[in-house]
Structure 1
Amino acid sequence: MVPTAPIASHQLLLLLLQLGLLLTGAILLGRLAVRVGLPAIVGELGVGVLLGPSLFGWTLPGVSHWLFPAVPEQVHLLDAAGQLGVLLLVGLTGIELDMRMVRRQGATAVRVSLAGLVLPLGMGIALGFGLAPVLRAGDTKSVVFVLFLGVAMSVSAIPVIAKTLMDMNLIHRDIGQLTLAAGTVDDAFGWLMLSIVSAMAVGGLTGATIAFAVLSLLLVVVVAVLARPLVRAVLRRCDSPQQTTAAAAAMVVLAAAGTQALGLEAVFGAFVGGILVGTSGEYVRPRTASLRMVVLTVLAPIFFATAGLRVDLRALAQPVVLGAAAAVLSVAIVSKFAGAYLGARLSRLNRWEALALGAGMNARGVVEVVVAMVGLRLGILNSASYTIIVLVAVVTSVMAPPLLRTALKRLQETPEEEARLHAGLATRESGGH
């Protein structure tokens, strides 16, 4: 093995300064966002936006270039820290999915999810053909950009939906459970489609590339089914929460490495690995509470702050880009809301239940930011299109709580929902949650 040079002293110092500033800013602005009724992700992204080219790089370019130099080696070091955070965050999403709830909601969740996927996917693809000359990066083929924009329009974000429902004390409501179930299907579809489009972006638009991507996805499913007993056996042998946490984190990262090796996105593997861990037994979630705490309070904020560094709001000063941003945001909101609303009405839910589902499914948050980062890393998006997609994540996540609150005020709480609320409170008080 050829020895490599260690990280230079100045590179390490700069990395530590970057991480310290981004984490401190993310904590402060995240808390401020929560205090004014916004999701924490808004503040966490905001610190990156402030320290990036939108403000810090514009007003103090010399200091900005020193602190965040455009040197590949230094950029990759910071990105590596952020990537670990996003992989574990996506893994946690998989761990905390309630698959029994998904099965219980059954056909209704599938109908709502499919309508909420097909309409925004189709409208995103149609919009992409018109915006490709403005928003696609460099040598990216128009078809790849168009498919990518369709995927970006169709995703939802289980972490944002779940946290919004919990913060509003609505997760015990039937419509809250249905929103989570439908969002679960959306999340799984989003990671799968992102992997396919990513493979096409890297390998080109050939029949062999598409066939290999599909076969790789089938291989992931087969390996996941075969690995489930092994995952369960390993976790049962863990003697403490610390061992369970370490084993769960290792499995998520290794699953991510597996899909990355197949040419698929690492986040897809992390999601599948998280599902395997989460379905291994009821004891897993309480035992991995420390992993959740570290990821949500340290690693995820660092990722969102680094994602914000790539946002350049100055691009919106160009009339063409501003018009494209308005079009993308409008299509994202209207198509997702209309799709979920239509699916709910076809499932014979009333209009207020359908409104609540449309509002909840519209929250893009974490998933949209991850999708944007993948598009930027693969060279599908340029700075302007990346900024627009991150704006979609922020705006839709901010919109969801007031719309949910308005709709659910019109729905009477049932005895079953009250019983579910009391059961959840009892579980949390006993330390099981």
Structure 2
Amino acid sequence: MTDTSLPDSLSITDATLAADGGRPVRTAEWPTYDKGDVFICPADEQAGIDAIKRRLYFRYDYRAVSDTETGRFESALCDYFGVPHALGCTSGTTAIALALLGLALPPRSVVLCPAFTFAATPSAIQLAGHRPVFVECDENLNLDIDDLRGKLTDEVKAVVVVHMRGVASDVDAVRALTDPLDIPVIEDAVPALGARLRGRQLGTIGVAGAFSTQSDKSINTGEGGFLLTADTELFARATVYSGAYEGRMRRHFEPAGLPPIAVNDLDHPIFGWRMDEIRAAMATSMLNRLDERVAAHRRNYTVVAEGLAGVSRIAVRQPVEPGALLGESMMFRVLDVHEGTAARFACALRAEGICARNIGDVDDCNVRAFWNWRFCFPDAAQARRSLPRTAMLLEQTVDIPLSANLTLDDCADLVEAVRKVAAGLGTGR
């Protein structure tokens, strides 16, 4: 059994905040992907090197799909997730766009998505030629079901549910509203690769699921992504859009002996969003250790969450059911009515040696704060007024990345730092 207990020595050794001249909890760098913290093994590296040496970098060369690195990765994804179709592509953003394009919605359709998401979600909706309309979030920063109910008008043609920062949104509750209206649900599972909801893999509950293999994701190939679906026509269209030209889309169906698909590749633009062979080779190797990485994230998250239990000044984000999260991020709201307290809380944590951001910090143009999306909201103040509850929640929220490589000592430092700041940070300054 994995030990998830914190060291017995855990205590606040210096009550004076580092921001006020005290001794910081830690001086070592907090491990994050942009500083080179990666979950990789020699086999993953060798897979990429071997693909380079083969000098076959294009997925649609003379080989059958099943003999290419990308085809093998897609087959492994189908086996792992229990879905009939998988498509490797260039990013999580393009995976969302391909899912929407695959639905063949009317141009400029209204597509709902939560107001708390990464800027890539509304970007992907626009990339697919549609209009993003935003739904408020609940106190745990998931799509608010009541607000969704009120926004499901005749104009709405799809809903993109986001499992933001690795925490599962309640797709079942969303589909209970959308299924009777024949509105398809796409899962933006980009930040939640490997997490489950009620025993099912996120990204397999809606009509399609979009994932990323970008640098801080559960499979890290620097860039990349993939799409999962059980909808054969959606998959065929998405394959054409991604760059399967001159009949290459049909290669994806020939090994299974399926009848011809009623999709003509000449009917659709070709966007060149294919995954390359080198990334696919690395991704296949990393998929073999996905469960190991998810277990590491979950261990670290459990340790930290248990260590923060009882800190009255904060409210840790809660999943829709126990365990319905990846655990790659610790998020909590600072329960204080004074403006800017959460920003000061995050700043104090950084002084203690912990990487932390307040999502709604006015001095930090965090693109997870919807009012910073000028391509959707030219007026930031008006944007906050249009989605007041989500704006308030994000202004209170602190976000801390949790690497799969954290040690128990790292987790102890994080818990100690949060306790220290919660006890020592004033509210009126």
Q: TM-score, normalised by structure 2?
A: 0.26
Q: Return the structure number with greater helix share.
A: 1
Q: TM-score, normalised by structure 1?
A: 0.26
Q: Return the structure number with greater strand share.
A: 2
